[in-house]
Structures are given as C-alpha cells and as structure tokens.
Chain A
Amino acid sequence: MVRQIFSHSLLCCACLLTSTRGFAVAVDTEDDALKLADSQVIDTPTSPSPFQSNVELAPQVARTLAGRYDEAMRVSPTVRYDRAFGDGWRAVFDDRFDYVSPGLPGGRVALNSLRELYLSDRPSQFTVFDLGRVNVTNGSGVGFNPTDYFRYNSVRYVVSPDPTTQRVDRLGTVLFRGQTLWQSGSLTAIAAPRLRSAPDNASLSPDLGATNSRSQFLLAGTARVADGFTPQLSLYRGAGESPRFGLNSTVLVNDATVGFFEWSGGRSRSNLDTALSLPGSAAFQQRFAVGLTYTTPSQVSVTVEFDHDGAAPSASAWRSLMNGNPNTYTKYRRWVVSSQELTTRNEPFVRLSTTDVFVKNLDTAVIARYDLVDHSVFLWANATYHVNNHVDLGLQLQTSHGTARSDFGGASEKDLAEVLFTYFL
C-alpha cells in the first residue's frame, strides 16, 4: 500500500514539475515587459493571521541493515499561534503531531510534541521577559552546535537528519528568560527548573522530563567589538555539572563568504561515561565547529565545516566499543541521537544548497558527513518544489556507507527514500 502511494507520489511529482512549464510567450522588449506588468492586478499584502499551520504527508521506504525493505507513512499536522496583545504582551503556542504507520519503536503510532507555550512581556523596547516552554536555540555552526545547550533530549521523533529541521522539530524547555539590550551589546539570562525526573514516552505527554529533568542556567552576552563583529560569550551550568563556557562568532570574509566559529569548553565526564552512566573522572573537554559558507554568483551555497567533540570516544575507544558488547554499543548510539553530540571526535561536514538554480521555485540541499575515525560516510539529499503558495512537494534520499557498527554504517536505516507533501493552510 505504502509502496503504491510512494510510486504514485513520484509520478505526481513529475507531472507537477512538467505542468508548471507551460507555453513560452515572447517578452522580448522593455515595452513588452511593461505591458505585462500593466495587465496584472497586484493585491496589497494583508496582515497575516496569528494562526499558522501545515500538514505533512510523507510515505517512505527504508532499507534496513539486515537488507529488509520497511515501508512507512507519516502524517504530521503542525499548528502555531503567535499573537500580541495588551501593552507589549505576546502569547505563543506551537505544537506538532506525528502519526506514523505501521508504528514507532515501542508500538506507538502517534506522538505529540508541544514545542512551545509561553507568555512574553516587553516592558520597554530594550527589555524582554519570557515565561513558559520556549525553544531556545544557540550557535553559529551549521552541522554541530556545542553551545546549543538546551538541545539534549529535545527531539521526540526525528523526521529529518538535516540539522536545520532538527532545530525546528524539537521540544522547547520550560524556563524564565530575561533579555536586555544596549547600544553595543546585550545580555540574556535563562533559568530552567527541574520539573520531572525522566522522559515520558506516552503519546500525548508534554514530556517535561525530556527537557526539564534537571535545573539549568545560562548567561549569554554579546558585545560589538568592531563594525560587523559582535561575538557572543556564554556561561552555562546544569545541575550536577561544572560550568561550560561558550563562544560564538561570525565574520563577513568578503561579499560571498561568511566565516563562523562556535566553541564550548568545560569540565565534564566523557560522552561514553555519561551515556553508560559510568562514574568516570571529569576533565576539561572542548567542542567546536568552525567553517565557511560561500555563495556563488549563480546562488549555489556551500558550507564546509569541521566539527570536534573532545568528550567523544577517541579512535581506540570507539574501535573497542564497535567490537565490544552489543548492548553497550546500542546504548551509546541511542544517547548520541538524543544528545545530538558527535559519535566520534572529529567529523567534517559539508552542506550544499541551491534556490531557483535548476528550476524556478526548486530548492535543493545535499549534506555529507564523514567520520575521520572509522571512515564511514553519510549522504542526504533533498529537493523541494514550491508548487504554489500552499503546496510543497519534496523528495528526500539518504544513504549510509561504512563497516557494520561504524558511525554511519551502523545506522539502522541503510538507505531511505521519502516523498514529502506539505500543505500550508
């Protein structure tokens, strides 16, 4: 059934792409262009509704490590309500519901993600207070964000390996945030209380234990050091942990290139000790992402990034984990997915994206990850065609290569193809 829907979806993609081309009408002169503009009725953009919603329909086929083909269908409605009221107040609600057939691990077919629910007050144009569940993201890196401190356990259901999408489809943290700005800088303070002791996998649970299983505090400040250079310094502390320091900076190298550097450092146990709940001894660990994004005149953007996680297993530790107890290996892999840390210490990351390059209204993206320790490779490609103002049609393909139990070769899905219809209301 899913395979039928999948093949019909591909056919539908092709039909829509060809049907939008139509017949060319000669518009060769400036006068013709003006006459074309004369003939159009252009409506003034209206103020948007505070409601924003869309529905995704995504049939997919995956080839598992065992060589079996698994079919699945996902339906995911999303609702966002963002409204200003009173004198400087604002209310935000953001929720996503995933229905998956034949089901998720554990037998569930549905999973709700209450991503945001908060109130905001702006007593002045330079001061803001937020209270509630807020998706706080941080970091100038593209493929890895060591200063994105509130990412741990935040993704209930992974719908895409694209880091950009993972920042959207995750739970916010219940917190109080205050921010103040001045002429040459800003200061943000966040306090997130402990509300539950452990994650709750129930379908409709707000899952406060995933994001608020311990108290967390963050201080982040920016300062304009020079024209066009405003780095951010941060200090984060989770209950039972040593403080972590962070740095984020971007710089415009030239008209086509942006450079970025994201760093986090602090005393902590290794990722392996944390994942396996081993006592371990704490040491100063550094994580960073450094890279460049270059855009060609024809609008092809290429990001080349080097990611380092000093707390991840060394080459020898990773090899012994690969060849050791399968339960220990699986437990570590699961922790890496939920914590969004690197599996091993060093990983180059490349992202290539285009907009309107091959076909008008077609966005494409390719991601490549390479594990320098076990030489496994992950490739993901996406093409999304904006059929009209309400409909997107996408195709996602991913493949992993490497020896069994390697970083990417050990992924449960060896290859995956997914068609993605999105309807924006």
Chain B
Amino acid sequence: MKRVLTQLAMLLLSICSAAAAAPPDAQQMLAACDAIRNPARPFRLKTALLDYRDSKQVGSNGLEVFSKLEADSGQYANLIRFVSPARDLNKLMLKAGRDLWLYDPNNKASIRTSPQQRLLGQVSNGDVVTTNLSREYHAVLVGDENIQDGEHQTCQCHKLNLTASVPEATYSRIELWLNAANAPIKAYFYAESGRLLKTAFYRHYQEELGVSRPTEIVIIDGLMPTWITVMRFSDYAWYDVPDSWLRPEYFSSVKVE
C-alpha cells in the first residue's frame, strides 16, 4: 500500500513538473492578448485617426465605435459612426462577420461593400473594428526576442506567428510580439503574396474598463514607410449596444445620444 501511494505521489509530481516546464500555449496567449485589446462586454470608445505622408498630416477622422461580442460567432459586431470631418458626419459603417455595410444619412443608402473595399484611406476596415484574433488566426509560438517597443524601450517579448484560419480574416499572416503579460507590443501584417502590408506598434497603455489597454496604435505602411497612421483611443465606456443598431434595415433610425 505504501509503495502504491509513493508511486502515485511520484506520478502526480511528474505531471506537475511537466506542466510547469511546458511551453505556454500560443493560442491561449493570443486569447489573452485579445482580452487586453477588447473588453468582453458591449462597449463604446472614440477613435481619432490621423494620416501622415512624408511627416505631413494629410487627413484626419473622428470615429465612435460601438462594439458587441456575438455569442454565436465569438466575434465582435461593430458599428462605426463618423463624427468628423463635417462632410462625413453621421455616416455609419457596420461590420458583422464578413458582412460590411456603409450608410450615408444624406442619401439614406445602405450600401453593401466587400471586405477589400477600404473606407478610411490607408487603414483597413479590420484595423478600425474590434476583432478577436484568436477566432480568426492559428497561433504558433516562435520564441522570445528583445525588440524596441512603441515607447522606445527594449522589451523582452514572446513572438507569435499567426496564420489565417477563416476566410473573413483581414490578413493572410501576422507576426505578433507580446510582452510578459501577453499585451500586444508590435505586429507585422502580411498579404497572401508574402508582402509586408503594414507594421503596427501598440503603445501608451492605460487602465481602461478595468484592464491596462493600449490607447494608441502607430501604423506604418509596408510599401511606403513614410505613410503613417496614428489611431488614438479614448472615452472607453460600457455601453449596451442595441441589437437593432447592428442591422442595415435600421440604419436610418440609429441616433446616438
């Protein structure tokens, strides 16, 4: 009996030590990263989006994002409201799964657009809306690397290789660097051809809705490195996004108060 107990104890010990030594699960790390980027409850935030070319500001947009996790898909449905410039005021963009709709309050037209059609210049629709990367990409842990983060500091990061696992994924492949807390620090986004589309730095972490989240993303164009977009997030708030807002039929009645 004593021998059996000893063997059982040794077995438990070996299982525990094996678990402690096992490399972290890349998909879980990506899910943890998603939880830092995106609140799980419905919320709203404001996004200031500035475009630069050759160090000169060439455009700006103000957006309000209303986001809600859909139970069946595990992915976010997003309603984007344009608040500036004045020519775009109150235009709406809805992204739910692969469905993408644009609404102009002037002509009342709800126009279905394809994912390839960008609505905000150099920034893809996928950059603006809330997405759970772990639902759209398969992650592999490559190893640890020291990189320069968005605050010009050296950061020891885990490097993940992400490959698209669903058709609605915006990018074919992503290289993603996470810090020790699985917070995103930097990413390279690639096209199917292997061409680098853009580089992103996640920075200016602040406590928002109970979690330290990046409040700015600096995006550098892959082909034209002097084309830079800065996305600044602010005014995070829990917000009960009505289901009707996420339907194209209701666009003309959406009124944000």
Contact = CB atoms under 8 A, between A and B. Distances in A.
Interface of A: 20, 22-31, 33-34, 36-37, 40, 42-48, 52, 54, 80, 82, 84, 90, 120, 122, 125-126, 128, 130, 135-137, 140, 164-165, 167-168, 179, 181, 186, 188, 222, 227-228, 230, 232, 250, 252, 254-258, 260, 293-297, 299, 301, 355-356, 360-361, 386, 389-390, 392, 422, 424-425
Q: How large is the interface on B (under 10, 10 to 19, 20 to 34, 35 or more residues)?
A: 35 or more
B30 to A, nearest CB: 23
A20 B58 contact: yes
B6 interface: no
Contacts of A27: 52, 54-55, 225-226, 228
Interface stretch (B14-22, B136-144, B249-257): B249-257
A22 B54 contact: yes
B28 interface: no
Interface of B: 46-48, 50-60, 62-64, 83-87, 89-90, 97-99, 104-109, 112-118, 121-122, 148, 150, 152, 167, 199, 201, 203, 216, 218, 220, 225-226, 228, 230, 232, 234-235, 242-244, 247-250, 253, 255, 257
B52 A36 contact: yes
Contact of A44 (B55, B118, B235): B235
A337 B46 CA distance: 43
A296 to B, nearest CB: 8
B253 A179 contact: yes
A45 B108 contact: no
Contacts of B59: 360-361, 386
Contact of A25 (B47, B55, B122, B150): B55
26 contacts: A24-B54, A28-B225, A29-B225, A33-B220, A44-B234, A45-B46, A45-B64, A46-B83, A48-B89, A52-B90, A84-B255, A90-B255, A122-B255, A137-B107, A164-B107, A179-B250, A186-B247, A188-B249, A230-B248, A257-B114, A258-B112, A293-B114, A294-B114, A355-B121, A422-B87, A424-B85
Contacts of A43: 48
B53 A360 contact: yes
Nearest to A35: B152
